[in-house]
């Protein structure tokens, strides 16, 4: 049931990124990495920029442009390179969510088919999910080891795989966004997504186990 796991991954990414409408995780990260000092901004202004940026990523705002005070000057926080890269990020993010939605529909269709065609559908579906879970567990462990050994290299490989340009390479001297979102922020976000993903997978497995053990058709009661 790879489709179910992929749908769970898409949901986990969404939950980790947008699960808190007040973006407290982001604020904590900004304080951890002293972002306000690097940008010479107060935290309220940084959170104001964050809110608009996050709205842009899910299509609530058409243009990524936020005028605020940075380094003592009132100016647009984002430059043209930021906007071009974030357009790519938005397309990737929304595309991933759509893929997750399609996978969820496919998983539901397969479950329905199992229920109609297989008398022992509960065991078969649970077994299929357990196999998929095992595969993803191996992948997760390998990726976890790789990221813990050299996050920078893994992060670079990710960008080269999913982006067809070099707009993701920023200069801290001229690009404020990379100062607001340092590499450590993304490392912590990967951990956050992994934790949510792991929890979601366990919850799904528990639900399937309970269904397998206790659910009976009316005629079986």
With 80 as the cut, is the pLDDT of residue 81 above it? yes
- CA dist 179 and 117 (Å) reads 56
As a whole-number percent, the residues of the chain with pLDDT over 70 amount to 96
Angle (CA) 117 120 125, round 5°:
85
| Mean pLDDT over the full length of the chain | 91
With 90 as the cut, is the pLDDT of residue 65 above it? yes
pLDDT at 175: 95
With 70 as the cut, is the pLDDT of residue 140 above it? yes
Count of domains in the chain? 1
With 60 as the cut, is the pLDDT of residue 49 above it? yes
pTM of the model: 0.89
With 90 as the cut, is the pLDDT of residue 144 above it? yes
- CB count, 10 Å around CB of 51? 17
With 80 as the cut, is the pLDDT of residue 45 above it? yes
Average pLDDT over residues 35-60: 96
Domain that holds residue 13: 2-220
pLDDT at 115: 77
Average pLDDT over residues 14-24: 94
Average pLDDT over residues 129-141: 89
- CA dist 97 and 35 (Å) reads 29
């Amino acid at each position: 049931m790879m489709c179910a796991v992929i749908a769970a991954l898409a949901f986990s990414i969404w939950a980790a990124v947008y699960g808190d409408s007040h973006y407290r995780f982001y604020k904590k990260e900004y304080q951890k990495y002293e972002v306000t000092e690097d940008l010479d901004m107060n935290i309220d202004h940084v959170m104001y920029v964050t809110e608009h940026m996050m709205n842009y990523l899910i299509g609530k705002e058409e243009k990524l442009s936020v005028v605020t005070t940075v380094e003592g000057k009132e100016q647009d926080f984002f430059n043209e390179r930021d906007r071009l890269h974030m357009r790519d990020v938005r397309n990737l993010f929304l595309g991933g969510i759509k893929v997750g939605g399609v996978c969820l529909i496919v998983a539901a269709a397969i479950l329905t088919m199992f229920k109609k065609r297989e008398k022992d559908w509960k065991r078969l579906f649970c077994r299929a999910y357990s196999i998929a879970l095992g595969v993803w567990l191996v992948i997760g462990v390998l990726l976890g080891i790789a990221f813990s050994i050299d996050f920078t290299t893994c992060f670079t490989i990710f960008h080269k795989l999913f982006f067809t340009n070099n707009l993701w390479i920023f200069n801290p001297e001229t690009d404020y966004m990379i100062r607001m979102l340092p590499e450590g922020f993304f490392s912590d976000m990967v951990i956050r997504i992994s934790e949510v993903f792991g929890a979601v997978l366990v919850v799904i497995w528990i639900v399937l186990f309970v269904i397998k053990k206790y659910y009976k058709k009316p005629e079986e009661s």
